[in-house]
Structure 1
């Protein structure tokens, strides 16, 4: 910070005057110097503020001019884009109108074809139903029904005759086979064998005894005859000659 002195002794020079930035003869001279410097600084500040204001105004005017130019450019571009979009919308509306018209025409043509096919099918169906009704009426007429009944009865009589002869032959054959089987069963009936004079020996368990092997004196046997049965006790066992010969050979 600069140091100023104004002691007021013109014939004397102090150390403060020597080291000071600037020395004055009197305090009034020092104050006048400071006032002048302040006025100079204020004037300089005023000039600077004026220059800053002028520069700001110039820049603001330039920015406003550029902004106006940009706004006009944007407006022109927006107007041009809107015109292009409007033309596109008009073209699209026309295209959609043509497509809708073509679709309606195609739909109408398909509808006409469908109606024609339906009409033709209905006509053919009605003709077929008329034909079926005509033949049904003919089949249901009394004369036709009587003829059908006579024809069916004749066919049934013929079928009955064709089935009757083979059935009779088969029935006779089965009757003969049944009689033969009945005779065979009757001949093999144990009761018939007993009626011819044979007897059946049974042990205590009721099993048939067909050999003397294993039997001895005092054993009990049941004898079954044609009209009853007997309980016997073996008194003696005698083997047949054939059995004895077989035992000797073995």
Structure 2
């Protein structure tokens, strides 16, 4: 048996590794990343029970359009080698890409760029919330906390706004297609003034349905303004970027609608006050003109009497004219108030009726759908009651 030097041993091992382990793909987490001044990158790839050193030379790193960082899950194409001067076993990286969440994020960025080039993210195509909102279409899951958040927020801040629910899956392989269907269905309802697309928080994978390209085109094609409130403040989806308004959360989306409604009511009140002020100023100006005309009359008694009659007639005419205008303005204000009152759902609750919701914020309309001991929420004209069922009657007690 011949005796090998350390150099000869390491050379033989290096040749054997490169011959027996050709180019292969390895997945792991980046650890100990160092970017040398030379442009080379040194790090380890690890999983739950092992790690291996890796190097990526400047000629390869310069080709990347993204910057890996500590903790990234990646897939690498590499050659197994031995760094002969120290006898270190390592991977020589030829290419690197994100894996898992990273791959999804890459797909998100690519889709975002495609839609940006198509003009769907252009700020100039975004529309503001309508000045007057009487009804909204709400696209979300029946079992989502987002549904309760929106209903409670609008009931408290803008109770006159009617909510039309368009239930849909918001997660899973079938969610994107169903969201598209419900968005388009809601957009065909002429009674609506805006659409809310909402969902609670989750991982990038959980929210992936909202990154669907067809959904982006469905939102962009809506005649109604679309307000998106998806996930938490840090969550951003394609649907958020395409929607006319992006709210940080479902509650924030409902609040934006409520603020617009409150502004409309305030504008209406200010309009009424301005109209009344204009009428008062016109009345005062007319009275002053009459006073000036009265003071200017210095003719003999007959002429004075004729002009006095003329002034009295003009006074009556102006008074009737001003009263008529005020009556028209007041009638218009009364009609608007009546219309607003007719749209107010709390008027029904104020007559003793109540709205019953289960723990998933679904309306309860049938006693047979409720189990003994089940917790319910009762919405009254003023406030909420948390109750529990002790007895249930399946039919109308009068029947």
TM over 0.5: no
Report the TM-score when normalising by structure 1: 0.26
Q: TM-score, normalised by structure 2?
A: 0.17
- Computing the radius of gyration from Cα coordinates, the structure with the larger value is 1
